[in-house]
Chains A and B, each alone.
Chain A
Amino acid sequence: MAGETSLSTVREMVLTARVLLMDTVEPYRYLTPELITGLNIGLLEARRLRPDLFLFTPSEVPSYLFTDADVGKAVPIAIDQMYLSALLYYIVGHAQLRDEEDTSDVRAATMLQSFSAQLLTVPSQIGVPG
């Protein structure tokens, strides 16, 4: 969408997560509310790991309620843009946690580790755990 920075809105975050989940064709395997739940939980985790990301609103971690009816809306995600990709990895990892396939388990763990790594350390590349 014109003028919209990638990942900065809930809609863009969900669309990008679907690309990583290879779930871009309807009917979706991972429903939009489920991905939004992952976003909300990821924000709570970010609050736990990095309280400075919510410096002036420590008890008001943002939470989003987004349905398919909100597809056309540009709802910004209230977190510093440096850590939007970390949230993306959390959403993807959280979505894949429910799968029971071995490859999905590994990928989910990798994504969640990347989320923590991006918040706590400088290296942030996604890698396959040894």
Chain B
Amino acid sequence: MSGCNSQYDRLMRECRIQLPGALDDVIKLEFFDAADEFFKTTHLWQETIDLGVTADRKDYEIDSNEWLAVIDLLLGVCSNGIPVDATMAVPGELVLRYSPSNDAVYQVSVALTVASCDDGHQCGCGNAGCSNGFPQIPTWIIQKYRETFKDGVLGRMMSQLAKPYYNQVLGAYHAARFRNGMSYARMQVLHQNVFDAQAWQFPQNFATGRR
């Protein structure tokens, strides 16, 4: 396996052990779906995009600057810490409620999810021409939630009928663990990975004291 995707090596080895007769390409296929569900449910993968706005213009197109990803949700827009009303009826197409009075830079926070290539092959490193079949996901997310992703893959794989690795009971077990893992991740997002912190709300600053 390519060194640029070594973060997935352990995950793949663990999945192969529990899925006798499973093809690597099928595991990658289900991994993509599990990752997509994970990010859409938890909104864990976030990015703040600096958007240059011009006076008297309300419609803008936004896209992730550093990731091969799809914009899933608009979390908020602000200008120097002041919230700005905006909507995103179509992901990637930002519509401000009011036209800016002058040129400025707005900070647009979005939630991302994995993107796929047309031919089904893409590499997590994002390098052109590299195709290992994995979506591009930040390494820290894989490291922190590897068990959750594994449960998502196992739950989906073991639910496939007419396969050597089909197992109804274990499939349901891993699917339940996957849902529990997503709930935990959502809580971690609200607390911004701070122990015993109050829930974070955009775009306020973090609480200066703890409960």
A120 closest partner in B (C-beta): B162
Query: Which of A55, A80, A121 is close to B164, meaning CB atoms less than 8 Å apart?
Result: A121
B23 lies within 8 A of A120 (CB): no
A52 closest partner in B (C-beta): B26
Interface positions of B from 160 to 178, Cβ below 8 Å from A: 162-165
Interface string of B20-53 (1 = CB under 8 A from A): 1101011001000000000000000000000000
B20 closest partner in A (C-beta): A122
Kindly state whether residue B120 has any CB partner on chain A within 8 Å: yes
Kindly state whether residue A69 has any CB partner on chain B within 8 Å: no
How many contacts between A and B, using CB within 8 angstroms? Answer: 29
Kindly state whether residue A49 has any CB partner on chain B within 8 Å: yes
Task: Report the separation of the CA atoms of residues A52 and B29 in the bound assembly, to the nearest whole angstrom.
Answer: 10
Task: Report the separation of the CA atoms of residues A50 and B20 in the bound assembly, to the nearest whole angstrom.
Answer: 14
Kindly state whether residue A28 has any CB partner on chain B within 8 Å: no
B162 closest partner in A (C-beta): A120
A50 neighbours in B (Cβ, 8 Å) = 162-163
Assuming the contacts A82-B21, A122-B20, asked whether A55 and B162 have C-beta atoms less than 8 A apart, the reply is no
B22 closest partner in A (C-beta): A52
Give chain A nearest CB distance to B91 CB in angstroms.
28
Residue count of chain A within 8 Å CB distance of chain B: 13
Task: Report the separation of the CA atoms of residues A81 and B135 in the bound assembly, to the nearest whole angstrom.
Answer: 25
* Interface class of chain B by DSSP: loop
Task: Report the separation of the CA atoms of residues A120 and B22 in the bound assembly, to the nearest whole angstrom.
Answer: 11
Kindly state whether residue A53 has any CB partner on chain B within 8 Å: yes
B24 closest partner in A (C-beta): A80
Give chain A nearest CB distance to B171 CB in angstroms.
15
Interface positions of A from 46 to 95, Cβ below 8 Å from B: 49-50, 52-53, 55-56, 80, 82-83
Give chain A nearest CB distance to B170 CB in angstroms.
13
A52 lies within 8 A of B20 (CB): no
A55 lies within 8 A of B21 (CB): no
A53 neighbours in B (Cβ, 8 Å) = 23
B164 neighbours in A (Cβ, 8 Å) = 119-122
Task: Report the separation of the CA atoms of residues A114 and B20 in the bound assembly, to the nearest whole angstrom.
Answer: 16
A49 neighbours in B (Cβ, 8 Å) = 162
B20 neighbours in A (Cβ, 8 Å) = 122
B162 lies within 8 A of A52 (CB): no
B25 lies within 8 A of A120 (CB): no
Task: Report the separation of the CA atoms of residues A121 and B21 in the bound assembly, to the nearest whole angstrom.
Answer: 9
Query: Which of B23, B29, B119, B163 is close to A80, meaning CB atoms less than 8 Å apart?
Result: B23
B21 lies within 8 A of A122 (CB): yes
Best-surrounded residue of B119, B163, B165 (most CB of chain A within 10 A): B163
Task: Report the separation of the CA atoms of residues A119 and B22 in the bound assembly, to the nearest whole angstrom.
Answer: 10
A/B interface sample: 26 pairs, CB < 8 A: A49-B162, A50-B162, A50-B163, A52-B26, A52-B163, A53-B23, A55-B23, A55-B25, A55-B26, A55-B29, A55-B120, A56-B25, A56-B120, A80-B23, A82-B21, A82-B23, A83-B21, A119-B164, A120-B162, A120-B163, A120-B164, A121-B164, A122-B20, A122-B21, A122-B164, A122-B165
